[in-house]
Amino acid sequence: MSGRKQFDVDAAVDQAMRVFWQRGYADASLDALGSATGLGRGSLYGAFGNKDALFRQCLDRYASIYGAQYEQALTAHAGDPVRAVEAFFDVVLSRIADPSVPVGCLIAQSAAQSPTLREENSTQVRGLLDLQRQRIRTALADSSADTRTLDELATFVVAVNQSLAVLSRAGTSDAELRSVARLACTTVADTLTRAASADAARG
């Protein structure tokens, strides 16, 4: 198509995603996004509509990449909720330690800025957190714990995950992050064990 610059949309989204991931929505200027993607403002608007629409595409891209990894880790240990949670944290810590991507987590970065995001963007971030919680809750279902305990544990695991992302951005070492994850897994195991004992006692 003569006169029109062609570009790889997926590659542009990947590069923009890294800008939002590193800087957060507020500080991801159009100039920074254009520099990362190699696109001028006109091309950015022509391809994605506006910054908010591009941001949502980046959130979807991030969730697609890492959500698939979370799903694989959690479902690989059906019937063993503790091992499933351990595998989940292995994925989280591997992402944090990966030098090829920004430190932290795009969803955690965006959640911290939710009060300043447009409602549609904030809703999408909340939805991605809820999806993460649902995945973990499903993995925990293979236990005798009551519904409330499992709901609370799923929220706890998500909270630890988000905390790991924040701590990593503050420079916390890999060893310290892994210690936090181990303690979280111990808490999950202990809680499920107590629930099983209580269920047996009632039986």
8-42 residue pLDDT tens: 888 999 999 999 999 999 999 999 999 999 988 88
Q: For residues 195 and 149, give the distance between their C-alpha atoms in angstroms, rounded to a whole number.
A: 8
| Residue 2 CA from chain centroid, whole number | 41
Residue 178 near residue 115 (C-beta atoms within 8 A): no
**Alpha-carbon distances of 2 from 5, 60, 79, rounded to whole Å:** 8, 32, 58
Residue 31 near residue 78 (C-beta atoms within 8 A): no
Q: For residues 27 and 142, give the distance between their C-alpha atoms in angstroms, rounded to a whole number.
A: 43
Residue 89 near residue 139 (C-beta atoms within 8 A): no
Q: Give the residue-averaged pLDDT of 194-203.
A: 71
pLDDT (tens digit per residue) in 123-144: 999 999 999 999 999 999 988 8
**What pTM did the predictor assign?**
0.89
